[in-house]
Amino acid sequence: MAEVFTGSFTQQEPIPEEAVAAALEVMRSGRLHRYNTAPGEEAEAAALERDFAALTGARYCLALASGGYGLTCALRACGVTPGDPVLTNAFTLAPVPGAIAGAGAVPVFVEVTEALVIDLDDLAAKIEASGARVLMLSHMRGHICDMEALMALCDRAGVTVVEDCAHTMGASWAGVPSGRFGRVGCFSTQTYKHVNSGEGGLLISDDAELMARATMFSGSYMFYDRHPAGPAAEIFDTIRYETPNCSGRMDNLRAAILRPQLARLAGQCAAWNARYGAVEAGLADTPGLHLIQRPAAEGFVGSSIQFLMPGLGTKAIETLIAACRDRGVELKWFGAAEPAAFTSRHDSWRYAPPQCLPRTDRVLAGLLDMRLPLTFSLEDCALIARIVRGEATRIARAAA
């Protein structure tokens, strides 16, 4: 009998008990709004911002309603105005081009490489051709490009880097936390990311004026002095009159749930990497299957794993996905013609001008992806790898 996996690829761990207790305390107080505090009390949202600034080494942090909201907020705080071109990776998730469109700007897609990171040669060419002054760099699926080379290129060209760190909370490049290279780093605390408050976002930056604009934009009702990890009050002198209030704050309930999770983040990242390692080892040397080599400088968090099957045609990939699904293993395919669930690609974002991205299209045609939730044991991961390996080997042989 062929082995079957019975776990769920979308089941995250329960919220830790200390986070549940903190949430109950907020609910019993009734003070869920971040600016609704008792005399002398620090709001959970403010404390979360302090915690995350300390964790990443950033001067400032701002907590928001969602990761996608944070991306739009960061772009607007960088001075992006309607009609501006904004560069981004052609392989990313829908909220990234969506955030660019949300700022009224126009996405300009940059090719990605077989290592799933932004193609620096194409980036240089597109900076030149588009005249864009901002890059929203997406560390899609946790793959981090050569950050020294990228920053050197963008600094030379006068391009501001906004980092989309939805998949890199807890990750680093050459020991520097992800989100600390660009002018601003944007994180998501949505259920499928590295900490879970259902929805939520965090911005980090050392730039006082940018963070003052972001704070006003998020809807601070002139309570900007209630942000212990925010810029000094005098920075808001003129910004507070010039920045629209587009409410997107985080509430104290979600902040309370997140703080104990941040304290456990390093251990969680190690647990993800153990699972990633188990799947990677189980898939090594599978015929026709290319694992993504991770550079030594990349301190990644293996909350998902990707592999390429470049030799297989559309039919064979569909057969592989169906065969794995029948044995309980959920593969996502970013090459599918129609967007399904969390997968979509540049040509399904039709609000953006159509763009020609042959290298990315070639990569996506053979790109498969699996989530690795922490509810999987190491034995589960070994079983999943055996199933994918077995089916991939069978299908590659039949196709040859």
119 binds ligand PLP, rule: CB under 6 A: no
96 binds ligand PLP, rule: CB under 6 A: yes
* Long-range Cβ pairs for the range 338-344 (8 Å, 24+): 339/94, 342/93, 342/192, 343/369, 344/93, 344/94
166 binds ligand PLP, rule: CB under 6 A: yes
Q: Which of residues 191-220 bind ligand PLP (CB under 6 A)?
A: 201
Among 51, 164, 298, 380, binds ligand PLP (CB under 6 A): 164
Strand order from edge to edge, sheet including 60-64: 60-64, 201-205, 184-188, 160-164, 134-138, 85-89, 106-110
Q: Residue 89 Cβ, how far from ligand PLP at the closest point, in Å?
A: 9
47 bridge partner residues: none
> In terms of CB distance, is 92 or 243 closer to ligand PLP?
92
Q: Please work out the total of residues on this chain that contact ligand PLP, with binding judged by CB under 6 A.
A: 15
Rounded Cα–Cα distance for residues 221 and 231 (Å): 16
> In terms of CB distance, is 68 or 230 closer to ligand PLP?
68
Rounded Cα–Cα distance for residues 260 and 195 (Å): 10
Q: Residue 238 Cβ, how far from ligand PLP at the closest point, in Å?
A: 30
Rounded Cα–Cα distance for residues 213 and 8 (Å): 41
Binding span for ligand PLP by CB under 6 A among 66-74, 114-122, 126-134, 361-369: 66-74
**Amino acid, single-letter form, for residue 390:** G
**Amino acid, single-letter form, for residue 185:** G
335 binds ligand PLP, rule: CB under 6 A: no
Q: Residue 329 Cβ, how far from ligand PLP at the closest point, in Å?
A: 21
CB-CB contact of 139 with 146 (8 Å): no
Burial label for 276, CB within 10 Å (0-12, 13-18, 19+), is buried
Tokens of 33: 């709004």
Burial label for 151, CB within 10 Å (0-12, 13-18, 19+), is middle
Q: Residue 235 Cβ, how far from ligand PLP at the closest point, in Å?
A: 27
Rounded Cα–Cα distance for residues 43 and 32 (Å): 9
Q: Which of residues 248-287 bind ligand PLP (CB under 6 A)?
A: none
> In terms of CB distance, is 286 or 303 closer to ligand PLP?
303
Among 37, 66, 72, 303, binds ligand PLP (CB under 6 A): 66
> In terms of CB distance, is 344 or 393 closer to ligand PLP?
344
Q: What DSSP assignment string belongs to 372-397?
A: --TTS-HHHHHHHHHHHHHHHHHHHH
CB neighbour burial string for 178-207, b if at least 16 within 10 angstroms, e if fewer: bbbbbbbbbbbbbeebbbbbebbbbbbbeb
Q: Which of residues 7-46 bind ligand PLP (CB under 6 A)?
A: none
Binding span for ligand PLP by CB under 6 A among 29-37, 92-100, 208-216, 310-318: 92-100
73 binds ligand PLP, rule: CB under 6 A: no
190 binds ligand PLP, rule: CB under 6 A: yes
93 binds ligand PLP, rule: CB under 6 A: yes
**Distant-in-sequence, close-in-space partners of 202: CB < 8 Å, separation ≥ 6:** 48, 49, 52, 61, 62, 63, 64, 70, 186, 187, 189
Among 5, 31, 47, 67, binds ligand PLP (CB under 6 A): 67
Among 37, 56, 88, 138, binds ligand PLP (CB under 6 A): 138
Binding span for ligand PLP by CB under 6 A among 93-101, 237-245, 247-255, 280-288: 93-101
Nearest Cα to Cα of residue 258 among 35, 70, 23, 42: 23
68 binds ligand PLP, rule: CB under 6 A: yes
> In terms of CB distance, is 95 or 170 closer to ligand PLP?
95
> In terms of CB distance, is 68 or 288 closer to ligand PLP?
68
Tokens of 68: 């996608």
Among 56, 87, 95, 364, binds ligand PLP (CB under 6 A): 95
Rounded Cα–Cα distance for residues 179 and 166 (Å): 10
Q: Residue 368 Cβ, how far from ligand PLP at the closest point, in Å?
A: 17
Q: Footprint of ligand PLP on this chain (CB under 6 A)? A: 66-68, 92-93, 95-96, 138, 140, 164, 166-167, 188, 190, 201
